Amino acid sequence: MAIWRTETTPEELQARSRDTLAERIGIRVTQIGPDYLRATMPVNSYTHQPMGILHGGASVALAETVGSLAANLCVDPEKYVCVGQEINANHLRPASSGVVTGTARPFHIGGRSQVWSIEIRDERDRLVCISRLTMAVIERK
């Protein structure tokens, strides 16, 4: 059973990222599953840190982007909006090239908050980063 309250497509979600950090660093929404949202990000000079590997902040940007998009699909968009409240990340292995994929799945979808797990994996399906994102669910005014 799907968890989404709003039906959309990866292309429609991608359009929401125009002129944002996500667009600038190349985050692309690729898949909406019944209980997950997936996006990719290139590992290149825009997302590297000075040592030539994926910047931890870029991983966190991917995690917050995919988790935030997912969270907002789980609420009535006429009444509520979800905004980031807290995020943490454990960087487990370096990536220096290619593409990483972030997959967001919920731990908790509540009326006032949501908690999401985001796994970031490299092209060989190795875990690069694990993140937990807490979203506040607030009423639209």
44-82 pLDDT, tens per residue?
999 999 999 999 999 999 999 999 999 999 999 999 999
Catalytic residues: 64
Contact (Cβ atoms closer than 8 angstroms) between residue 127 and residue 53: no
The tens digit of pLDDT for each residue in 32-54 reads: 999 999 999 999 999 999 999 99
Per-residue pLDDT at 1 exceeds 70 = no
Q: Which of these, 134, 100, 105, lies nearest to 120 by C-alpha position?
A: 100
**CB-CB contact of 100 with 40 (8 Å):** yes
pLDDT value at position 105? 98
Q: What is the pLDDT of residues 95-121, one digit of tens each?
A: 999 999 999 999 999 999 999 999 999
**Per-domain boundaries in the chain:** 10-139
β-pairing, 99-109 with 127-139? unpaired
Cβ atoms within 10 A of the Cβ of 45, count?
A: 7
For 10-139, CATH number? Answer: 3.10.129.10
